[in-house]
Amino acid sequence: MVSPSRVVIGAVAFAVTVGVTSAARAEGSDISFRTRTEVSGYKDTDATNVLTPGVRAEVENVPAGWAIGASLLVDVVTTASADIVATASPKWTDERYVPGLDARFKISDATLSLAANGSIESDYYAGTGSVGLAIDLAEKTITPSFSYSFGYDVAGRRHTPLSVYSLELMRHSLSAYVSFVINKSTIFVPGVSGVLEIGDQEKPYRYLPTFTEGTEVPVGASADEVNLLRTSVRLAENTPDLRHRYSASALVAHRFDNATIRVEERLYIDNWLLMATTTDATLPIDVTSAVRIWPHLRFHAQKGVDFWSRAYVIDETSAGVVAPQLRTGDRELGPMIAATGGAGLRVGDDHVGFTISADAIYTRFLDALFIQDRVAGFGALVFDAEVD
């Protein structure tokens, strides 16, 4: 980050997505096939670049009420972020492979969904399985849905066997939503969710600079400034082994003659005392039967966790170093605000279409080192096609 006397607006980050979607139904058959291929790219002002190709295939039998899908994407990540520079680490590149399987089955007015996916990196392995149930009530005007998922993550260090060093994390998630069809033009979807995380959430490679009592460390201090002020002691992260996350959300969508407004609000709190609010709004407008445009706005604000500190203070005594027990360098756990604005355009019909969209994001980290402001942008180019 930069010093408080300066606001650095870097090169606008971007992501580009190109996708092809197709569907075909065998003549005289109720089974349809869909595939989607996608390539996305991302770049931000914190020197991180991501290239992500992906593919998805699905087979569905609508009369029989079932569908089965599979997906695979690959992230190729290259970064030399401020956090890496601050620890004198070199630029690095890694790959992440994310396979997934999913299925859904409709039985009378109930729909059962199952999903499983994994994430494989050179030093991180994760897997998640989920089950969901949705039930249509009151002639499909009220649809409650429930889901549960379990995740298990193992983080290690490159070139170090997991038997020597590993951080394990288990995650249980529950959610409940209810979709209300208010009238032919309006839907309302409130929901709640909870997540229980048990295990280690520290970053294996993140070491924090420390300071003596009374040292003035400015917001957004650069790596050079920090190196002049810090002690010789660097501390590994240490976060609580138990985290409860809770959120409540509400979505309202209303259809006008040639437009639809969609607004969603989400409130969040956890037992680390991170509190956040996120508001998202989109307004798709049908210019003609073949042209749709939309503006998009989003705002996020959060309070940092209760053990957050821009500059952790230590005391070096004859008995050793006295340091805060809980500590983190993850600025996403600190106080911050972010505003997003963008727009999109789709040209086509129900069978073939081309979509282009772009968003710009301004993020202000209110109490962190190395980065004070971040300006980012991402865009998408999508081509979709369907053949019956």
Secondary structure, 3-state, 271-313? CCCCEEEEEEEECCEEEECCEEEEEEEEEEEEECCCCCCCCEE
Top pLDDT among 95 and 46 is at 95
Once rounded to an integer, what is the mean pLDDT over residues 277-290?
97
CB of 60 within 8 A of CB of 32?
yes
Backbone angles phi and psi of 83, in degrees to 5: -65, -40
Condensed to tens digits (0 to 9), the pLDDT of residues 104-127 reads: 999 999 999 999 999 999 889 999
Banded pLDDT at 220 (limits 50, 70, 90): very high
- DSSP assignment, residue 103? E
The pLDDT of residue 388 is 57
Report whether pLDDT(23) > 80: no
Instruction: Determine the Cα–Cα distance for residues 144 and 192; give it in Å rounded to an integer.
Output: 12
Strand order in the sheet with 312-313: 234-236, 207-211, 312-313
The pLDDT of residue 12 is 33
Instruction: Determine the Cα–Cα distance for residues 357 and 113; give it in Å rounded to an integer.
Output: 30
The pLDDT of residue 152 is 97
The pLDDT of residue 47 is 83
Banded pLDDT at 28 (limits 50, 70, 90): low
The pLDDT of residue 54 is 85
83's enclosing H/E stretch is: helix 82-86
Top pLDDT among 4 and 109 is at 109
Top pLDDT among 382 and 262 is at 262
The pLDDT of residue 368 is 94
The pLDDT of residue 21 is 52
Condensed to tens digits (0 to 9), the pLDDT of residues 6-20 reads: 322 233 333 344 445
Structure-token match 């208010």, residue found: 182
Which range is least confidently modeled, 46-60, 169-183, 282-296? Answer: 46-60
Which range is least confidently modeled, 25-34, 159-168, 355-364? Answer: 25-34
Condensed to tens digits (0 to 9), the pLDDT of residues 177-213 reads: 999 999 999 999 999 999 999 999 998 888 899 999 9
Task: Show the domains of the chain with their CATH numbers.
Answer: 14-385 (2.40.170)
Q: Any long-range contacts for 274-280 (C-beta under 8 Å, 24+ apart)?
A: 274/302, 274/303, 274/304, 274/305, 274/333, 275/302, 275/303, 276/300, 276/301, 276/302, 276/303, 277/301, 277/302
Q: Which amino acid is at 326?
A: L
158's enclosing H/E stretch is: none
